[in-house]
Every structure is written in structure tokens, then in C-alpha cells.
Amino acid sequence: MSNEENKSEEIEKIIEGTEATEEADTAEETEATEEPEAAAAEETVEETATPEEGEKPAEEAEKPAEETPRKKRRKLPLGLKIAGVIVAVLLIAGGIGAYVGYTKYQAYLEECARIAEEDAYVKQQAVTLALDTFHRHAVEDVFGGTGEAVADAFVDAGIGTIEGVNNRPPYVEITDANRAHFADIESVLIAPSGMVEVSVNVPAKALPVSDDGYYYLFSKAIYQDHITGEPITRIEKDVDFVAECNLNYNTAQSRLFDKFCVALLMDGEYVEVSNSRYITNPEAKAAYASSRDGGSSKKGLLVYSELITSGQLEDLGVKHAAYNVYTSLICNGGGISYTYNGHTYSFNAYQVGLYDIIFSRLSARGIDINAIIINDLSSSTITYPASRGGGATLYAFNASDEEGVNMLAAVASFLANRYSGASGHGKVSNWIIGNEVNERTVYNYTPYMGVDEYARLYADVVRVFYNAMTAVNSTTRVYVSLDNRWNMNKSDKSFYDVKDMMDAFNSYMCSEGNINWHVGYHPYNYPLTEAKAWSWGRYDSTVSGSSSSPVVSMRNIHVLTDYLSQSSYLDTNGNVRRVILSEMGYTSSKGQNLQAASICYAYKIMERNSHIDYMLLSRQIDAAPEVAEGLALGISGKEGYTAYKYCGTDQESTYVDKYLGTIGISSWSAIQNPR
């Protein structure tokens, strides 16, 4: 005999055991309810003049119970079973007793009137059917799975309630030791809906003890270290959760540049209990996704604007160009109004018009543009407050206060919009923030401070530019600018070693939300006046193949790309950050032959390193101030021009290989292992 048959027999025995008691109870109930039921029958006749087909007249259906002899228990028809299931489901779902309100229930289901005389039996049968439904889902064929789903829902709800109580996370006191990182903000992302989603995990898998049952979400400006004001929203305590808030993009309340954290209400005050994290996918808001020019070419040049139409760029096969954008020229008002985040700014129409001409001409030639944003304003809100009036060549940008961040963001958004390629003004795909920023006193002036603090100032600036620009054009790349002094370990406080600064910069960026910044490196010879890229005489000791090398130039550029290949340095997609050689060159002061050989040497090394996208040779023509210092870096009209022209072409054997002897090698494979 099956388990189901055993179950049926057990239920039948229970019913038989209660039948005698039920008959006695039924007799009493009949006397007590006879008159009300008769009155109800009369009312039914008045409301329903004509019974539905197949339905008994009301008078017949509502005969007093004692007029109908009690029948022995019998097999119920299918309709009766259906009615019983309906009764059971309604009673269980409503959470009321089986005997409460029975008369009202009987009136509500008039189609079940014919079974009123067996009310006690129906109720018992309903219980039987309900039990059977829970264990065997017998009603599946009748309701097409609905009965099963309802029954399962009751069971699941009960189990869930029990498990919820049994598995409730423990409570933990907040202490000085666990407060700062009790909760971990794992990501802050702009969702497809446009809302900001903050994903939070509690490593302890416990609930913190506080004044109430909530976590509170706060946002802080990029220059703020602590929460102020009121929370954005609150979330019930859990061991992991997602909080949502509005981005308020391009409004005075924009959160695009904010960092988010969670807090608890403790002794009436809000206390931070998590790390802080920024939005890391600003490109989700981008209106543009401009295609990138340049193709597979690795040849680039710091161009001279008056020679763009000369035909030299096409002749050289150059597909990447570098050009400087000076804040002093565009941020002094004069004709172009631009409103961003609730504020209106004025940019110089004349100078912007010149950039329009230059960039549109380059774009028309399919040349990928690298714009270097340089701050030469000594007194401006865009300049770091402590740097103002410093008498340097270039100054650090300001992301340390509200006005500075607003100005930086406006400049970045304006440039990204104007040069997105959509407005006919040209397309800039790459933005380099500053120039050789590890050089503190000349090219990124600030008073002296520790490398960690200095790197943080620059990281905040880069994040503002990155978020503002990629929120406009999703394919934009943002680069940091670094010179060749990798690990000098000198006591000289005028500069920071690239390795030290990059470590601090990367650590800070990753701790508060990794973004896809890339590296614009300047692998000049050491010293700059050395003509040969492959040999520096008495300075050879400054270059080696290890990460402790004092200098990284083209001789050992793999040190940089190997270092960036560490897991701690990977971008948000797990890839090695892209490297461009954004400024490099060799003087012809000691002979055009040496300059040409050095250019070929550098190109062949770059070609063998897959992490380097291209080189931007400095420069197209000589600059008089540099020539005075022994740096005749221009190639126009020189032997180096011809050598560069044929690099990467099928005529290398004629125009490039001839420099192997000058370098002192027999094959280009001898210069460096591929990367």
C-alpha cells in the first residue's frame, strides 16, 4: 500500500472518530440557526426571481436541516471537493477559524447552498482536502497548478518564518577597532535606470548595535573627509544591501563627483562605519561614444599648428598628434557661455576658435588627437590655493574646495562636449592632465608636502576630469603625465620619484573606486642632452632592467609596463593600463645621424611592446629656447625625418636597418625581449 493510501486511511479514521461528536453538535446548531436560515432563504427568493439553469429552487435548497435525514459518509462528487478546497483555502488564507462566520460564508457562496445540510461534514472534508493538498498537491489537475502553488506558498512561508528566526544575524557592538570598516562599500555604479546604486557588504555578517534599526547613506564632496548634514536615505540593517539615490546629473545637486559612505545613528549622532567610494562608471551617462582615429599606426608627433596643412603629417604617416591646451587662454572669459552643474562659465571665444581650427584639421586627416591640459594660471580658482602666486612655469590644479572642483568640472565637460566629434569642431579622444606632474617645483607647482598627500591632490584632480569627460564621451581616455625619473631616491625635494608617486596615486585611486586612468610617459634620455638612446656613457649606471632602476627610458621601458602588469595596477576590466609615450625626442646637436638612429631604436623597442600604443615624437620643428640648451629635437628637414617616415613600413630594410651598425647590433631582435 502506498504512503498516500496510508495517509487517506489515517484521515478517514480521524473523521470517523469525530463524527459522533459532530452529529450531536450539528443537532444543537440546527435548532439555534433554523429560524435565521429560513429568513435568509426568503430573502434569497426575493432577490433572485429566476434560478440559474440546473440550480434548485431556493425553497428546496433551504429546507430545515432536520427534514433531511443524515446520510452516511459517502464519496463526494468533484464539485463538492472543489467547494471544499475553496473553503479551506479561503479560511486558511484569511487566518480565521473554521466555524467563525460560517453562515455569512454560506450566503456568499450561494452555488454551494445544496451542501448546506452537511455543513459539519463539509468543514471536515475541507480540512481533509487541505491536508491532502499540502502533501500530495491533488488539486493540480483541477486548478492547473494554482492549488499547488498556493499550498507551496503556505509551506514556504512557514519554513521561511522559522528559518528567519533561527538564522537571524547576531548583533555586534561598534568599537574603535571595527568602526571604520564595519561595512564595506563594494561598488558605486550608475544603474541603467540612471539612479546611483551603492552596494554594501558587512564582512562580519552581523548587525551593528545602534540607536535604531537602520544604516544611513551619505555623500561627501571630493574635498571633504567627514560627513555633514542629513543622510540621503536610510536602509534597514542587513548583512548586505543596495542603497539607491538620485544622481542629479548636471544640476547644482550633482553627485557625479561625490564619494559615498554609510553611517549609524549612535547616541543621537551619525557615525561613519564604512569606507568611502566614488562612482566608477560615469560613462553610463555619456551621450557620445566617438570612434577612435589612428588605426594600428604607432607613429605620432607633437605638431606645429602652421604645418598641419603642409602635407608633412601625411608624408610621415603620422596618425597621432599632441597639442597643448592652456587654461590661461581659454579660462579668461570672452564670448562662450557654458552652464554646468547650475553655474555659468565664460570661455574665450577667440582662443577656443583657434583650437576648433587645429583640431578639426587634424580630425579631417584621420589623426588621433592627444590634448595636454596645462595650467599656467598663477591666480585663479582653478589653481590649488597654496600654489597661487608661486612664480613657477605651471601650477597644480585645484580640487581642494568647492569653487575649484566646480571650475575643473566645467572646463572638463566643456572640452569633452565641444571636441566629441559631434559638433564639427574636431574630435579629441585623449586628454593628458598636466605635464610631468612628479616635477613639483616647475611643472606642477605646490609647496613641498609628503608624496602621499601630493599624489592624493593629483588623484582628486584626475578623478574630476575623468568623471566629467567620460560622462560626456564614453570612449575618452584620460592620462597621467610622468617624466623619466623612476627611482632616483635623492634627497632633492623638487620632484618625486615616479615609482613612489605612482604607487601612492594608484593605492588611493583603488581604495576609493578604481577607474581607467592610463599613463602618458616621457622616456627621455638621461641626461636630456645625451644623443644616443642606447648608450649614455658615464650615466649608464642609472638604467637597469629591474624595478629599482633609477631611470626608465626607451632602453628599459619594459620596467614600466612590467610594473603596470601587477595585479594591483590593473584597470577595472582586469587589463594592463595603456601606455603612450606622450613626449620623447632626441637632439641632433651631436649629429643628425645619431638622432635618426635613436628614433629608429626607440620605434623598434616600442613596436615590440604590446602595452604601448604609440609614441609622440617631440617635435616637428626645433624650439629656439630648447636649442639654446643643446636640445635640437625637431625633425623637419633632417635625417631623422626620413628615418621616422619609413619606420613601420615595408621599406625599413633600406631606410631603417642601416642604423643597426651605428647602434652596434646586427638585428633589431637584440634590443629588447617582446612584451
Task: Answer yes or no: is pLDDT of 362 > 60.
Answer: yes
State the pLDDT confidence band at 159, using cuts at 50, 70 and 90: low
Residue 465 pLDDT greater than 90, yes or no: yes
Per-residue model confidence (pLDDT) at position 162: 60
Cell of 122: 463539509
Give the per-residue pLDDT at 155: 57
Confidence bin at 125 (pLDDT 50/70/90) = very low
Q: Which residue has the cell 545613528?
A: 265
Determine the longest span between alpha carbons in the chain, in angstroms: 128
Residue 545 has pLDDT above 50, yes or no: yes
Please, what is the average pLDDT of the chain?
A: 83
| Alpha carbon separation from 382 to 112, 348, 622 (Å, rounded) | 82, 15, 31
Q: Which residue has the cell 427534514?
A: 67
229, pLDDT greater than 60: yes
Total Cβ atoms within 10 A of residue 577: 18
Strands 214-220, 233-236: pairing kind: antiparallel
pLDDT given for residue 123 in this prediction:
42
C-alpha cell at position 491: 634627497
Fold: same for 171-278 and 296-306+316-618: no
Is pLDDT larger for residue 480 or for residue 38?
480
Is the model's pLDDT at 658 over the cut of 80? yes
pLDDT band, very low/low/confident/very high, at 137 (cuts 50, 70, 90): very low
**Mean of pLDDT values over 664-675:** 90
Q: Are 73 and 19 in contact (CB under 8 A)?
A: yes
Per-residue confidence band for 28, with pLDDT thresholds at 50, 70 and 90: very low
* Mean predicted confidence (pLDDT) in 11-33: 43
User: Higher model confidence: residue 181 or residue 37?
Assistant: 181
Residue 168 or 277, more confident? 277
Q: Where are the alpha helices (DSSP H) in 475-545?
A: 498-511
Residue 168 binned pLDDT confidence (cut-offs 50, 70, 90): confident
pLDDT at 260: 99
Mean pLDDT of 527-556: 96
Predicted local confidence at residue 24, as pLDDT: 41
Least confident of 16-25, 147-156, 213-222: 16-25
In this predicted structure, the answer to whether residue 18 has a pLDDT above a threshold of 50 is no
Q: Which of 81-95, 542-556, 578-592 has the lowest mean pLDDT?
A: 81-95
- Long-range CB pairs of 352-356 (<8 Å, 24+ gap) are 352/418, 355/325, 355/330, 355/419, 355/425, 355/426, 356/418, 356/425, 356/426
Residue 112 has pLDDT above 90, yes or no: no
Supply the pLDDT for residue 117.
44
Instruction: Considering only residues 498 and 147, tell me which one the structure prediction assigns the higher pLDDT.
Output: 498
pLDDT exceeds 60 at position 9: no
Beta strands of 298-422 (E only): which ranges? 299-302, 320-326, 335-340, 343-348, 368-374
Q: What is the pLDDT of residues 178-216, one digit of tens each?
A: 999 999 999 999 999 999 999 999 999 999 999 999 999
> Omega before 625 cis (within 30°)?
no
- What are the tens digits of pLDDT across the range 480-528? 999 999 999 999 999 999 999 999 999 999 999 999 999 999 999 999 9
- For the chain, domain boundaries: 3-136, 171-278, 296-306+316-618
| pLDDT exceeds 80 at position 94 | no
CATH pick for 171-278 out of 1.10.3470, 2.60.40, 1.25.40, 2.40.160: 2.60.40
For residue 546, what are the CA distances in angstroms to 153, 534, 652? Answer: 65, 17, 31
Share of the chain above pLDDT 90, in %: 72
CA 292 to chain centre: 22
Residues 239, 183: contact at Cβ < 8 Å? no
Least confident window among 118-132, 280-294, 519-533, 545-559: 118-132
Domain 296-306+316-618, CATH among 2.60.40.2140, 3.20.20.80, 3.20.20.70, 1.10.10.10? 3.20.20.80
Residue 128 has pLDDT above 70, yes or no: no
Asked if 44 and 102 touch (Cβ cutoff 8 Å), the reply is: no
Give yes or no for residue 52 having a pLDDT over 90. Answer: no
